[in-house]
Amino acid sequence: MPHQGLLGDQILEVVRANPDCTLDGLMLRVSGASWSEVSLEVDRLSRSGQLRLTKSRSGLRIRLRAL
């Protein structure tokens, strides 16, 4: 399992590079982590206000939250 901070940084990098990223798309771009690890980290980042999750026809979209 990747260190939580490193995984969070990797997720934020992917979302910055792919602003309309879906959860499935994120899974394809994050390496070295299981689906559950990525899901838990996305949840943590969302609860801390760094990401925003929205539901769309193609699945959950992940965006950086505007600060």
CATH architecture of 4-64: Orthogonal Bundle (1.10)
SS3 5: helix
Give the other-Cβ count within 10 Å of 15's Cβ.
23
Tens digits of pLDDT across the chain (67 residues): 455 579 999 999 999 999 888 888 999 999 889 999 999 999 999 999 999 988 878 777 888 875 4
Three-class DSSP labels, 14-60: HHHHCCCEEHHHHHHHCCCCCHHHHHHHHHHHHHCCCEEEEEECCEE
